[in-house]
Amino acid sequence: MSNIVAIVGRPNVGKSTMFNRLTQSRHAITDEISGVTRDRHYGKSEWNGYDFSVIDTGGYVHGSDDVFESEIRKQVELAIDEANVILFLVDAKEGVTDLDESVVKLLRKTNKKVVLCVNKVDNQKLLEEAVEFYNLGIGDFIPVSSISGSGTGDLLDELVKHFYKNTDEILDDLPRFAVIGRPNVGKSSFVNALIGKEQNIVTDIAGTTRDSLNTKFNKFGFEFNLVDTAGLRKKRNVQENLEFYSVMRSIRSIENSDVCIHVIDATRGFEAQDQRIFHIADRNKKGIIILVNKWDLVKKSTNSTIIIEEKIKEKISPFVDVPIIFISATNKQRLLKALELSIEVFKNRKQRISTSVLNNTMLPLIENRPPPAIKGKYIKIKYCTQLPVNVPTFVFFANLPQYIKEPYKRYLENQLRREFNFSGVPITIYFRKK
């Protein structure tokens, strides 16, 4: 199971600022006016080798006149249910309030680990006064200042203590292929057509699949788990409680997969939501293959496939080295080809290149086109190696790594893709001092 931290608390205690701090982003809107966050934000974070998701919830209120109150309360309760660690945020400047007590009553109903975090501890006086939060009965607290970042290291240390040590959702060591996409693009039809039976319910109504469904599958002498996920729709369309669970489980299926089979609707093209889903898989460094489904319903011309491929690659740039295949789940067109390519992407993601082969290949290319000099300083890359991690990650050692810019990084990535087969796989490149 992937680790999820839910940030809860009354309005205006700094939850969104803490979310931005933990995820190193600016996704959540922050304002001194309470109640700015009305829905949930999802983000990724990492600490001491642990990857985890963070949920920022709306401020928990009880008994107010706010029309959003009941919805926000539901969201908080759902986030608590889905997370395995709860980060309960309180405000050192305001002290213990009745609303804090209301949140504590809610938290007592769960058996999840609750970490009490006292925010806005900006000086020694506030730190001394923070002892009153022991009255909440939760135990020790961690003082932080989410704006300055002080104390966040101690907070993260405490959070990871309570994380799952392994992904217990994965019951075996078989590769996991997650079928992802918007609602009603044909994900379940694709899975049913592959396995040859109506295992998953298929209707014209978007959102029929509510949970991630696992199927053990063997093809081409290769055994793996095929996971049909609920369709990921726009946040503003995620209204039902059940729908929220579905979205969260789809995201978790992506996080726990090796390859994402991204299904899109040929009759609608590659829309903005498809783009968002693709980037979720990309950010999680998963192997990706794009299936253009319902190809039988499209009026075709000589260059139809080329035109659509170009449009897709334009929208998924800069990661464009992704297999794209046109299928029809209904007519069972090119399904096995899609599966074959998915297995190939999995193998590409797992491949390891020896340091000697890597250096013999890359160093001459670097010598022919070295990094551009900066301020009269010449940059020399001396050697490179692949790190022993789950995704293709390379380290290039140079005398002045801080001066190597993004264009040259993309050049190295393109050379790696040209010389070695990394089709459908995101590549990570680091530069280190040597």
Q: What is the pLDDT of residues 303-330, one digit of tens each?
A: 889 999 999 999 998 899 999 999 999 8
Q: Reply yes or no on whether the pLDDT at 65 is more than 70.
A: no
Place of tokens 């290039």: 396
Going 373 to 354 to 345 to 389, the CA torsion angle's sign is negative
User: Which segment of 41-55, 136-150, 163-177, 378-392 scores lowest on mean pLDDT?
Assistant: 163-177
Report pLDDT digits (tens) over 121-180: 988 899 898 999 999 998 899 999 888 888 989 999 999 988 876 544 444 568 889 898
End-to-end CA distance of the chain: 38
List CB contacts of 302: < 8 A, sequence separation 6 or more: none
- pLDDT average, residue stretch 96-102: 86
Quick check: 28 pLDDT over 70? Answer: no
Top mean-pLDDT range of 60-69, 119-128, 181-190, 411-420: 411-420
Catalogue the long-range contacts made by 218-224 (C-beta closer than 8 Å, 24 or more residues apart). Answer: 219/336, 219/339, 219/343, 220/339, 220/340, 220/343, 222/175, 222/343, 223/174, 224/174, 224/175, 224/176, 224/177, 224/343, 224/346
- Tens-digit pLDDT profile for residues 254-264: 888 899 999 99
| For residues 332-338, average pLDDT | 90
Query: What's the confidence (pLDDT) of residue 400?
Result: 92
Decide if pLDDT at 200 tops 60: no
The pLDDT confidence band at residue 230, using thresholds 50, 70 and 90, is low
For residue 217, the one-letter residue type is F
Average pLDDT over the chain, rounded to whole? 81
Least confident range of 18-22, 119-123, 173-177, 414-418: 173-177
**Between 187 and 195, whose confidence is greater?**
187
The pLDDT of residue 249: 63
For residue 191, pLDDT over 50 is answered with yes
20: number of Cβ within 10 Å: 22
Q: How far is CA 376 from the centre of its chain?
A: 40
If 0-12 CB within 10 Å is exposed, 13-18 middle and 19+ buried, where does residue 24 land?
exposed
Give the range with max mean pLDDT: 178-192, 196-210, 216-230, 371-385: 371-385
pLDDT band at 267 (very low <50, low <70, confident <90, very high): very high
- pLDDT over 90 (residue 427): yes
Which carries the bigger pLDDT value, residue 167 or residue 4?
Answer: 4
> Under a CB-based contact definition with an 8 Å cutoff, are residues 367 and 383 in contact?
no
Query: Is the pLDDT score of 62 beyond 80?
Result: no
Q: In whole angstroms, how far apart are CA 22 and each of 30, 110, 137, 147, 173?
A: 14, 24, 26, 11, 31
Q: Return the closest-CA partner of residue 48 out of 169, 165, 170.
A: 165
pLDDT band per the 50, 70, 90 thresholds, residue 207: very low
Find where tokens 């109903």 sit: 109
Are 223 and 174 spatial neighbours (Cβ–Cβ below 8 Å)? yes
pTM of the full structure: 0.64
Q: How far apart are CA 390 and CA 396, in angstroms?
A: 18
Which residue has better confidence, 191 or 210? 191
Lowest mean pLDDT among 48-57, 136-145, 337-346, 348-357: 48-57
H or E, element range at 171: none
pLDDT-above-90 percentage for the chain: 40
At 194 the pLDDT is 82
Mean pLDDT computed over 6-20: 86
Look at residue 66 and tell me whether its pLDDT is greater than 60: no
| 350 pLDDT higher than 90 | yes
Q: Which amino acid is at 163?
A: F
